[in-house]
Amino acid sequence: MIKRIAENGVVTYTFEQFDKIPWLGHGLTTRMGGVSAPPFHSFNLGKNTLDVKEALEENYRRLIEAHSTEDYRIFLTNQVHGDTIQCVAFNNSDEKLKVFDETDGLMSDASKVFLMSFYADCTPLFFVDPVKKIIAVSHAGWKGTVKNIGKKTVEQMCDRYGSRPEDILAGIGASAGICCYEVGGEVIEQLTKAIPTAKDFYIALENGKYRVDVKKANVASIMSAGVLEEHIEVSDLCTICNEEFFSYRRDGITGRMSGFIYLK
C-alpha cells in the first residue's frame, strides 16, 4: 500500500515494502510544503524550471532537513527522455551537488548519496536490492517506457553490482493515469513494438486517440528483466487529476516533483 506522509507541511508518498527496510530512505514529493510562487507553487524541485533560485534552495533545504541528510552528496538527473543510467559513488570533494546531463536514471551502492530524478506526469521508477543494498531511481515518460528503461535499470543493477532480478523490489510512483493520459497512434505503434503485451495497456477512443496505462507498461518492462510481479508495488494515483501533484498536461508551465532514494 502506498503511504502518504506529511511532516512540517512537506507531503511525500512512500512504498510500504520499502518502508520496512531500516537502512533505506525514499519518497516521491508533491506540490505541498514549499515556498515557490505560482505557477510553481509550492514545493517545486525542478532546477530547469523558471522558478527563482532562492525558492528552489529553500525547497531543497526543507527536503534534506526532513530526512536528516545534510551531510549527504546530492546527485540529480538532467533528463532527456532517454535510457542512460549512471552509477554513482560517494564524492569526497567539496562539491555538494552534482548534475548528470542527458541521464534518466541513477543507481548506487554507496551510503551518503541522495539520488533525485524529476517528474510532472512521467512515471517514477524506484528499485532496491535488499540483499546487496543497491538503490536506483529512473524516469520513464512514454519515450523512456518505449526504450524499456525499467528493464534496463534492472539489467544494469545486475551487471554492475551483481544483483539478482528475483531479489529486486520495485516501486512505480504517481504519474499520468489511464483515466487522463491521451496519446496518438504513433505512441501506440512504438509501444507495441517495444512491449509484446502492449495491447493490454491501452484503450481506443472514438476520436481516434488512445488512453494508455504507462504504469502497467512499466510493470511489464520490469518483469521482463526477471523481477517478480509480487515484488512490484504500484501507486494508483494520477498526477493529472490529483492536484497534490505537478502536471505538465494539466497546467503547462509548472513545477516538478522529485523521486528520491538513499541509503541511510
**The pLDDT value given to residue 94:** 65
The model's pTM is 0.96
**The pLDDT value given to residue 208:** 92
Mean pLDDT of 207-226: 96
Task: Label residue 259 by pLDDT band (50, 70, 90).
Answer: very high
* Range with lowest mean pLDDT among 108-112, 195-199, 220-224: 195-199
Q: What total number of domains does the chain contain?
A: 1
pLDDT above 90 (res 223): yes
**51 assigned to some structural domain:** yes
**210 assigned to some structural domain:** no
**211 assigned to some structural domain:** no
**The pLDDT value given to residue 92:** 60
Residues contacting 224, CB < 8 A, separation 6+: 148, 151, 195
181 near 249, Cβ under 8 Å? yes
**156 assigned to some structural domain:** yes
Across the chain, mean pLDDT equals 95
Task: Label residue 93 by pLDDT band (50, 70, 90).
Answer: low
**The pLDDT value given to residue 21:** 98
pLDDT above 80 (res 68): yes
Task: Label residue 7 by pLDDT band (50, 70, 90).
Answer: confident
**206 assigned to some structural domain:** no
Task: Label residue 96 by pLDDT band (50, 70, 90).
Answer: confident
Mean pLDDT of 181-201: 92
**The pLDDT value given to residue 95:** 76
pLDDT above 90 (res 245): yes
**218 assigned to some structural domain:** no
pLDDT above 80 (res 199): yes
**The pLDDT value given to residue 8:** 79
**186 assigned to some structural domain:** no
Q: Which tens digit of pLDDT belongs to each residue from 114-158?
A: 999 999 999 999 999 999 999 999 999 999 999 999 999 999 999
Can you say whether the dihedral through the CA atoms of 88, 245, 145, 127 is positive or negative?
A: positive
Continuous H helices in the chain: 16-19, 53-66, 142-146, 149-161, 185-194, 214-223, 248-251
Q: What is the CATH number of the domain that holds 74?
A: 3.60.140.10
- Helix, strand or coil, per DSSP, at residue 199: helix
Residues contacting 42, CB < 8 A, separation 6+: 31, 32, 33, 34, 35, 36
Mean pLDDT of 238-256: 97
Mean pLDDT of 223-237: 98
Q: Which domain range does residue 157 map to?
A: 2-176+228-263
**216 assigned to some structural domain:** no
Q: Which tens digit of pLDDT belongs to each residue from 164-180?
A: 999 999 999 999 999 99
